[in-house]
Amino acid sequence: MRAENYLYFANAGDNDTDKDAAMYPASNFRGAVTMSSTTVEFFFDPLDGTGTTANGVLLTHADIATNATDGSSPYADDVHYTVMEKFAQLASANRNNTNNFTVVKDLNGSLPTNEGAISASGLTEVTAVAITTH
């Protein structure tokens, strides 16, 4: 059996509403693109089987640009790169003898009573999660 890594995302909801949380096999990852200076979206195979509209997880981080008026670089902080790099590390982190359940980001602060707590909160650079499914 091939070891597979599963990537978990949850927004600040309570896991009781559509698109509050999602989990994808790492092998379903298609690519990531910066969408603005504060967001990067990760795309996965859609769940509807059509394969033609990717599911997206939009992660928000600090603005990468800083002061440019003094002639210094506007790219003082490449946090989008950090988020991508850490995602890649998590996606490749599957090891034998682990459950390979990998929390990329969990912002949920109030789980339903019948759900156990997830011990990891994921990437510290991510401040918001928006999930789109198809």
Partner 1 sequence: MENYLYFRKNRPISASVTLGSATQTCPAFAVADIGALAGNDNLNEIAAISITSLDGGGTGHADVLFTPTTIVPTLAYSGSALAIATGTTHWIEPSSQAYANGILVLDGHGTAGGYTLDTGDIVTAYWKTGLETACMYPVSALKGINATSDTVTTVHFASILGDNTDDVITFTHTAGEFDKICKMINDACNAYPLDGRMIKVYDGHDGVTRYLNENDATITLMEYAPEGGAAGMAT
Which residue ranges make up the site for partner 1 (CB under 8 A)? Answer: 27, 29-37, 40-41, 43, 45-46, 50-56, 58, 62-69, 73-75, 78, 80-81, 84-85, 87-89, 91-92, 94, 132, 134
* CB nearer partner 1, residue 15 or residue 28: 28
Per-residue burial over 29-53, b = 16 or more CB atoms within 10 Å of its CB, e = otherwise:
beebeeeeebbbbbbbbbeeeeeee
Residue closer to partner 1 by CB (options 52, 119) is 52
Q: Of 8 and 42, which CB lies nearer to partner 1 in the complex structure?
A: 42
Distance, CA of 77 to CA of 80 (rounded, Å): 8
Q: Is 88 helix (H, G, I), strand (E, B) or coil?
A: helix
Please report which helix (H) or strand (E) contains residue 55, including its range.
strand 55-60
Q: What is the closest distance, in whole angstroms, from the C-beta atom of residue 42 to partner 1 in the complex?
A: 9
Q: Least separation, in Å, of the C-beta of 133 and partner 1? A: 9
